Amino acid sequence: MSKVKVMIVDDHEMVRLGISSYLLTEENIDLVAEASSGQEAIKLAKIHKPNVILMDLLMENGTGIDATKEIMKFSPDCRVIILTSYYDDEQVFPAIEAGAHSYILKTSRAEEVTEAIYKAARGESVIEPKVANKMMNRFRRQEKKPHDDLTEREIEVLKCLGEGMSNQEISEFLFIGVKTVKTHVSNILGKLGVADRTQAAIYANRQNITLNK
């Protein structure tokens, strides 16, 4: 196995020292450079061409996200592992979108960081479970449609709206009171985020939520 060329990017000297001390004991890892800022990381990445970069997120003189984005432009095969204390949405998703290959926390054990490096070198991603959960939740939110929150009765009323029925007609069709229909319509408009029943009708037809005839 050829050695994995690694660069550490962190603005805290003690963090860099701790990581580098451990990595130097790994015979299959070649620690080629250390950077204390995003801008320095970009310069050193061009010179040393590391296979894997351990990248902090929040630093002076350029963030890890900006550095990752720039490095991906001239070195798309480089694997950037975000190594940070943060896993909030404002950091996670921009980092992944910038091209980060893996995302782990500084609370990870030294062996876990090393394993993440080897996996990255093989093209495998490692995502901290807390971060993975956030990504899955975001994916589910993106997949979810507004009408998924409607009750069965509200779906029935929406279908009627799609047919252009008045509240009275819906009342007679579904055998419920007009006041109840008005309540359902109000709930539907709120859940769909539309201004009026006409927009709700348009939504119903676009989503193919129609009465079976």
pLDDT in tens, 96-153: 888 998 888 888 899 999 999 999 999 998 887 777 666 666 655 556 788 888 999 9
Q: How much is the pLDDT for 82?
A: 92
**How many residues in the chain?**
213
pLDDT in tens, 52-75: 999 998 887 778 999 999 999 999
Helix (H, G, I), strand (E, B) or coil at 80: strand
pLDDT in tens, 14-61: 999 999 999 999 999 999 999 999 999 999 999 999 999 999 988 877
pTM over 0.75, yes/no? no
CA distance 209 to 201: 9
| Buried/exposed 51-87: b ≥16 CB within 10 Å, e otherwise | bbbbbbbebeebbbbbbbbbbbeebeebbbbbbbebb
- What letter does residue 196 receive in the DSSP assignment? S
Count other Cβ atoms within 10 Å, centred on residue 34: 19
